[in-house]
């Protein structure tokens, strides 16, 4: 951020630029420069956007922060907040929130969901957290005279048919029933297979518990191992990134996939048609019996101690996003003439000509389906997105911000991001039996102080 400067007879000048490290903003090839220029035109403030690659975003951000190269504001995954608070990176926002001009239009529950035990708020959710729902190739169901599955037995029947019964009718053995992301290590993506089992630490009946040690996890691991042996799930799901998993759906290799209930409902539909079959219909389905979709805590916007004027950054970057006017329109829809246009009195997203699939833009930073306040949207929601949102909101499990202590900060991410995916993959591929894998997890998680972490969360 440009430093304040003042001559001998002048008052201090406000910062001329805000530096923001962001993940979900439009990328360079999607008009990021046009976005920043429009922000300057509206506010008079420069916006320097730094955007590490999505797959390495948090690692790159943490390296930047640890080196002392602190931006004014950055977007973080909520599980990293306790670590950053312990390192003194974010500044408390309570006073700024109380005095905010626009943030009062945000549902207070969205702020309370990220409040520390002492009442401090260090970050504001960048959008409604949303969640994932299961999508299915409806045209494949019709080709095989199958109905939308409503329970596990029906889902298993569909997965087998999608794998072995040539659902696309091309005469080749080139499809599989289901794919997942990174060994099902993140609970958002795996509800259809895990059902009521949670891989992660989660909040149940008033306490934080380790889902990996619950009885239903043993049953879920046996299901997953059986599916892998039978070959009805993508064998690469153990190492899939979101990108590689999506690509298999787009290319017509996979018939069932759990992903975000937002603009991705449109993306999955359109890109599958362009990538594999112009008649493809991929549609969301309700959670099967025994499963429950998850409503997550969204990535957070924090202001760092590197900001010379945190109040200025808060007012002009965080609070102003909820003005129900030009800035919120910019952060939601982007730039008129670049991302959207008016036609016959209605706003319409434009086609991104640089996208290989030539699809419409769907958002600039905050997707229209994920706004946090009560703004009356100037553009109707996509008719493909509405059903996905309705299904997600039927009866989701609501995540909460986890706030632990020293043990949590040091060991939680290693358990969730490294140990659990490793154990799960070893069980699925047969290197461990279910019993051996769970025993190994108990031993190694004990060495990483899992009981102390749970005690801190529940204190």
Q: What is the DSSP string of 399-435?
A: P------HHHHHHHHIIIIIIHHHHHHHHHTTSS-HH
Contact between 362 and 267 (Cβ < 8 Å)? yes
Please give the pLDDT value at position 9. 45
Percentage above 90 pLDDT, the chain = 84
Q: Which has more pLDDT, 1 or 248? A: 248
Q: Which domains does the chain have, with CATH numbers?
A: 17-128+297-346 (3.40.190.10), 132-292+404-458 (3.40.190.10)
Give the separation between CA 287 and CA 151, rounded to whole angstroms: 9
Please give the pLDDT value at position 2. 39
pLDDT tens per residue, range 321-346: 999 999 999 999 999 999 999 999 99
Q: For tokens 């009885």, what's the residue?
A: 215
pLDDT tens per residue, range 426-453: 999 999 999 999 999 999 999 999 999 9
Kindly tell me if the per-residue pLDDT of 3 is higher than 60: no
Band of pLDDT at residue 12, cut at 50, 70 and 90: low
pLDDT tens per residue, range 391-417: 998 989 988 888 888 999 899 989 998
Please give the pLDDT value at position 8. 42
Q: Which has more pLDDT, 177 or 1? A: 177
Q: Mean pLDDT lowest for which of 189-193, 226-230, 335-339?
A: 189-193
Q: What share of the chain is helix, strand, coil (3-state, %, to 5)?
A: 45, 15, 40
Please give the pLDDT value at position 11. 55
Please give the pLDDT value at position 117. 80
Kindly tell me if the per-residue pLDDT of 14 is higher than 70: no
pLDDT tens per residue, range 354-382: 988 888 899 999 999 999 999 999 999 98
Kindly tell me if the per-residue pLDDT of 156 is higher than 50: yes
pTM over 0.75: yes
Kindly tell me if the per-residue pLDDT of 1 is higher than 60: no
Band of pLDDT at residue 185, cut at 50, 70 and 90: low
- Phi first, then psi, for residue 256 (nearest 5°) are -135, 135
Q: Which of 180, 327, 340, 317 is nearest to 248 (CA)?
A: 180
Average pLDDT value for the chain: 93
Give the separation between CA 168 and CA 65, rounded to whole angstroms: 49
pLDDT tens per residue, range 113-137: 899 888 999 999 999 999 999 999 9
Could you give the dihedral angle defined by the CA atoms of residues 450, 453, 458 and 459, in that order, rounded to the nearest 10 degrees?
Answer: 130
């Amino acid at each position: 951020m440009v430093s304040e400067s003042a001559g001998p007879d002048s008052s201090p000048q406000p910062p001329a630029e805000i530096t923001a490290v962001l993940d979900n903003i439009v990328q360079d090839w999607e008009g990021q420069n046009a976005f920043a220029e429009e922000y300057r035109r509206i506010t008079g403030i420069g916006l320097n956007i730094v955007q590490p690659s999505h797959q390495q975003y948090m690692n790159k951000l943490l390296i930047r922060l640890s080196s002392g190269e602190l931006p004014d504001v950055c977007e973080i995954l909520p599980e990293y907040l306790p670590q950053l608070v312990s390192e003194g990176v974010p500044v408390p926002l309570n006073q700024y929130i109380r005095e905010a001009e626009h943030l009062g239009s945000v549902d207070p529950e969205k702020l309370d969901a990220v409040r520390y035990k002492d009442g401090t708020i260090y970050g504001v959710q960048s959008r409604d957290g949303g969640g994932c729902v299961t999508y299915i190739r409806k045209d494949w169901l019709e080709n095989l005279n199958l109905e939308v599955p409503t329970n596990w037995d029906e889902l298993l029947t569909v997965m087998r048919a999608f794998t072995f019964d040539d659902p696309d009718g091309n005469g080749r053995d080139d499809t599989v029933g289901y794919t997942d992301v990174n060994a099902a290590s993140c609970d958002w993506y795996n509800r259809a297979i895990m059902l009521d089992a949670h891989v992660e630490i989660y909040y149940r009946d008033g306490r934080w518990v380790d889902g990996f040690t619950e009885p239903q996890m043993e049953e879920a691991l046996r299901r997953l191992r059986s599916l892998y042996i039978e070959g009805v799930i993508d064998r690469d799901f153990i190492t899939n990134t979101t990108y590689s998993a999506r690509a298999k759906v787009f290319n017509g290799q996979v018939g069932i996939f759990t992903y975000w209930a937002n603009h991705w409902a449109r993306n999955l539909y359109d890109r599958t048609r362009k990538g594999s079959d112009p008649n493809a219909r991929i549609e969301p389905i309700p959670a099967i019996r025994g499963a429950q979709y998850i409503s997550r805590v969204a990535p957070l916007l924090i202001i760092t101690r590197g900001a010379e004027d945190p109040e200025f950054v808060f007012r002009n970057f965080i609070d102003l996003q909820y003005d129900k006017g030009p800035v919120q329109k910019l952060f939601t829809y982007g730039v008129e003439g670049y991302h959207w246009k008016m036609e016959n009195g209605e706003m319409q997203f434009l086609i991104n000509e640089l996208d290989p699939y030539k699809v419409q833009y769907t958002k600039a930073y905050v997707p229209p389906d994920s706004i946090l306040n009560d703004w009356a949207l100037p553009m109707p929601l996509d008719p493909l997105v509405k059903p996905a949102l309705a299904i997600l909101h039927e009866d989701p499990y609501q995540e909460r911000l986890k706030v632990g202590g020293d043990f949590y900060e040091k060991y939680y991410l290693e358990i969730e991001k490294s140990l659990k995916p490793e154990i799960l993959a070893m069980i699925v591929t047969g290197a461990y039996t279910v019993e051996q894998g769970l025993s190994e997890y108990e031993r190694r998680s004990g060495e990483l102080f899992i009981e102390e972490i749970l005690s801190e969360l529940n204190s």
